Amino acid sequence: MHSTQATSQTTVSCIQVGLAERSYPIYIGRQLYQQLPDLLPNLPRQICIVTNATVAAHYLGAIRAQLPAEAQLLVHEIADGEHAKSLSTYGEVMDTLIHANFNRDCAILALGGGVVGDLAGLVAATYQRGVDFYQLPTTLLAQVDSSVGGKTAINHPGGKNLIGAFYQPKAVVISTDCLSTLEARDFACGLAEIVKYGIIYDGDFFTWLEDNHSQLAARDEQALAYAIRRSCEIKAEIVAQDEREQGLRALLNLGHTFGHAIEAEYYDSWRHGEAVAAGTVIAAHFMQQAGELHSTDVERIERLLSSFELPTLAPQLSETLWQQRMQRDKKVQAGRLRLVLPTRIGAAELRTVTDWPAVWAAICRVTESSQ
């Protein structure tokens, strides 16, 4: 459900994630951190903000000024980067809460991108068996994907997001003006997830993205606001139908099985959205060589990703490494790969795939050295 509401300062779009008694709003608008008392009127006295130094320098002051004067505020800054999604960082945040005598009526606010949100969400899910959690995403990728839907996780040396829980926030506050400080690569990573929604769910939205790619790349406010809102609407619809990823929600993992393999081996040089983009192209080529996706659709996918300066080729990895990393994917059942595969622009399916040579052939077609 999508609506608009007026706060004391501006009009805010509001999308409801419909999960019965655990339903929650996604607020979208400009300069929303100055309006937290209107948007989050029921914050408790004990509040812990999990963030990083880069984000804190831009936004922490504005948020601190909006919190109740009587609040007991903790700020825990974690390191930048995927390596911060670790058991050790998780333990450090827990230590902060315990040493400050925070009780189960406290709230955790995640102020940052996907790494901050994933880690803070797992802390909220597990501290004293669960405390209130709020997402304040500051990157495009987090705004359109990771902040919505309740997936929380940290990484393990054996793979990405292997330790986690489903735990829904009480609200998501998306302040679109945050994107003005986002570096180009991180911005492009968010666009990769936006493209994903068009491929798996809404062909008309994909066409709109094609028609407006220049405005989006230039960070046009009006185009971005629509792209963020439509992406959140799609994710909210999917999560409301399949919160625990038993079926439909798995489609949101388009490109992720391949992408996580790339991230695991190239975590210093490839970012999540970049790996997902390359993984999406592999999935498209797999379906094209199976005769189930038209070459025109493959070309449209590659062209749109390229227009956002996202990679459409995968880095070199040995066949053994590809197999090892993909077998650790959480969708694997009884040792068999399950891949999200586009059948046309606007539709995709989750399928069990046993023909590894066909998968490897698609990977080879989309690998840098093969071009």
* pLDDT tens readout for residues 70-82: 999 999 999 998 8
Would residue 76 show up in a list of annotated catalytic residues for this protein? no
- Does the annotation count 196 as an active-site position? no
Q: Does 307 score more than 60 pLDDT? A: yes
Please, which pLDDT band fits residue 9 given cuts at 50, 70 and 90? low
Task: Name 232's Cβ contacts closer than 8 Å, sequence gap at least 6.
Answer: 15, 26, 28, 143, 144, 148, 174
- Overall average pLDDT of the 256-277 stretch: 93
Whether 193 is a known active-site residue: answer: yes
The single residue of 42, 99, 101, 129 carrying the catalytic annotation is 129
The annotation places the binding site for Zn(2+) at 193, 256, 272
Residue-level pLDDT at 333 = 87
Q: Which of 249, 271, 285, 300 is catalytic?
A: 249
Multiple choice CATH, 12-181, 3.40.50.300, 3.40.50.1970, 1.10.3720.10, 3.30.360.10: 3.40.50.1970
What is the pLDDT, as a whole number, of residue 177?
A: 94
| pLDDT tops 70 at residue 371 | no
The residues, any chain, with a CB within 8 Å of residue 24's CB and separated by 6 or more, are 16, 17, 168, 169, 170, 171, 172
Return the axis-axis angle of helices 319-327 and 256-265, rounded to nearest 10°: 120
> Phi then psi for 132, rounded to 5 degrees?
-60, 145
Confidence of residue 370 (pLDDT cuts 50, 70, 90): low
Q: Which residue among the candidates 253, 285, 302, 330 is catalytic per the annotation?
A: 253
- Average pLDDT of 10-34? 94
CB atoms within 10 A of CB 248: 16
Which pLDDT band holds residue 4 (cuts at 50, 70, 90)? low
Q: What percent of the chain has pLDDT over 90?
A: 89
Residue 331 a catalytic site member: no
pLDDT band at 95 (very low <50, low <70, confident <90, very high): very high
Helix, strand, or coil (residue 48): strand
- Token output for 5: 């509401």
What count of other Cβ atoms lies within 10 Å of the Cβ of residue 369?
Answer: 9
Cα 229 from Cα 223, distance rounded (Å): 10
Tell me, yes or no, if 272 is annotated catalytic. Answer: yes
Among the listed residues 76, 260, 325, 330, the single catalytic one is 260
189-199: pLDDT as tens digits: 999 999 999 99
pLDDT greater than 60 at residue 104: yes
pLDDT score of 149 more than 80: yes
- Range list of H helices, 67-169: 87-99, 114-126, 140-141
Overall pTM surpassing 0.85 (yes/no): yes
Asked whether residue 8 carries a pLDDT value surpassing 70, the answer given is no
The reply to whether 294 belongs to the active site is no
Reported confidence tier of residue 5, pLDDT bands at 50, 70, 90: low
Closest CA to 176 of 276, 59, 76: 59
C-alpha dihedral sign at 314, 319, 323, 324? negative
Among the listed residues 193, 233, 265, 302, the single catalytic one is 193
Amino acid at 277: A
Pick out the residues of the known binding site for NAD(+).
80-85, 114-118, 138-139, 151, 160, 178-181
Q: Can you give the pLDDT at residue 329?
A: 85
Domain ranges of the chain: 12-181, 189-366
- Annotated binding residues: 80-85, 114-118, 138-139, 151, 160, 178-181, 193, 256, 272
Residue 56 zone, left/alpha/beta (φ > 0; ψ -120 to 50; rest): alpha
For 326-365, the DSSP string reads: HHTSTT-BTTBEEEEEEEETTEEEEEEE--HHHHHHHHHH
Residue 327 pLDDT grade (very low, low, confident, very high; cuts 50, 70, 90) = very high
Select which of 272, 285, 300, 325 is catalytic: 272
Q: Which CATH superfamily is domain 189-366 in?
A: Dehydroquinate synthase-like - alpha domain (1.20.1090.10)
More confident: 264 or 280:
280
Between 371 and 198, the higher pLDDT residue:
198
Tell me which residue of 260, 79, 85 sits closest to 155, measured CA to CA: 85
Residue 328: pLDDT over 60: yes
Confidence at 3, pLDDT banded by 50, 70, 90: low
Q: What is the Rg, in whole angstroms, of the alpha carbon atoms belonging to the chain?
A: 20
Segment 281-307 mean pLDDT: 99
pLDDT at 143 over 90: yes
**Annotated catalytic residue 92:** no
Residue 161 annotated among the catalytic residues of the structure: no
- Has 99 been annotated as catalytic? no
Q: Is 260 a catalytic residue?
A: yes
Tell me the pLDDT of the chain averaged across its residues: 95
The percent of residues above 70 in pLDDT, for the chain, comes to 97
Between 123-137, 260-274, 347-361, the lowest mean confidence (pLDDT) is in 260-274
**pLDDT of amino acid 334:** 84
Q: Please state the rounded mean pLDDT for residues 286-292.
A: 98
**pLDDT for residue 1:** 57
